[in-house]
Structure 1
Amino acid sequence: MSIGNSPDGNVPEDERLFEEDRDEREAERISIGRALQQARIDAGLTVDDVSNATRVRISIVHAIEQDDFAPCGGDVYARGHIRTLARAVRMDPAPLLAQFEADHGGRPAPTPAAPLFEAERIRPERRGPNWTAAMVAAIVAVIGFVGFTLFNGGDDGDKTAVAEGSTPTTSKPGSPTPKNDKSDGDPKPDASDSAIAAAPQDKVTVQVRADDGRSWISAKDHNGRLLFDGLLQQGESKTFQDKEKVDLVLGDAGAIQLYVNGKKIEDEWRPGAVERLTYTKGDPEAG
């Protein structure tokens, strides 16, 4: 007589129920690709937006959202793509990476270091010094030094003056040397409001500040080169400058305050709204 066994007399009843419950939980678990796709849709982003922001090819983004990781080229690259896409759609990548490792057998085992005796075995045989080559090199060095000394012997006084840092000048004796209080070149962009107000008129200067929360932002110059792509935490700011235009994508425009060419942008964007903006030189209201 058996106690607590199933009708077939092989598997206990409580273990069979546990296995069925586990199978149901695994069937209800959302896949990695489906989770990334749903987060992208909730963020109001298209596959093109994610591809442009992360530099991951559109075909690979589509494949990952279908849980096909073969186009990634290996598990290491697949983990990197999952981490990058998760951050772009404002997801925590850690649970997705743990799920990927559980489904694909975890991380690859490290390659063991080669034994020390193998390094000794392949060490090249010691050879004696090549005295002929050393003598030729020494003779060439002596000839070069003598020739250089003879050729530059008459200019020792001038070279000494230059080495000491003196510079010839055409100013009159006794006239004070004007001081250069301004740095050469164009002013560098700064995150402060004073730097925005003093922005040069021949360039477009955009300051992005996360005053009311954090937001993912992407900025490109007029050539399409990526200036910044990432998450801007609350209280942080970024300043971008280009000679023609700056293209912006704001993941949560309601949390952002913009200053363009020294002028505050008064648009009131809704929290969570995705905005794509382009600013050029001059009045930002006209741009």
Structure 2
Amino acid sequence: MSIGVTLAAARDAAGMTVAQLSGRTRIRETVIYAIERDDFSLCGGDFYARGHVRNIAKTLGLDPDAIVHQYDDEHGGAPAPVRAAAVFQAESPIKLRERRSPNWSTAMAIALAIVAVFGVARVMSRPGENVATGPELKANPGLPRPAATTTASGHPKAAAKPASDLVTLRIKANKPAWVEVADDKGKALYRGTMRKGDDSTWKARKQLKLTVGNAGGVDLEVNGRHRGVPGKVGQLMRMSFGPEEARSK
């Protein structure tokens, strides 16, 4: 049995959700979802992967040493220890050179090169020209949970036809799923875990960006058109929708 299957089965047996396990281990939900699928790419390397596996196993009452040993067997073994002598011993003796008078021509050329590089870096780093996207975003309970749009009879209200630059996104959670919705400038409109049965709608100009940690657990509707389930259970998905998305029926 793989490490991911073993940890997922232990969590289910303990009656614990991914969100609860994340709160106890301080490991992001998206990382736990990936580990349960035997995907350790979000851990940041073998060192952190071993730490996450050990932490999760210990929290779920498993033998952490056995799980880490299985990880080492499946990923090339434990790292070889490094002797202090190998680190601090110089490979060749250091030769002290005779002090020479400064070369002002070389110093001036280096200074001009530094100024040129600094100018290029400032031009390239102006706000709004580059948008950086992070890997996985941690749930922020400080952002309010939007209420579902319903009619007086209690049934979900049909999405109105969007304006020319308006994007409408509706998400219905069939299973617990970590969700982040952001506008075209990256400002988070919602970030947190949607519970089973939650039905929420967001609107924004130009673009809506969606990150979902359990793609098989949500059902999407974009600009009034049903898009269905975007992925598999436990799959991490990142998507973006514009005003022209699914406008024709």
- Is TM (by shorter chain) over 0.5? no
**TM-score of the aligned structures, taking structure 1 as reference length:** 0.35
**TM-score of the aligned structures, taking structure 2 as reference length:** 0.40
Larger helix fraction of residues: 1
Bigger CA radius of gyration = 1
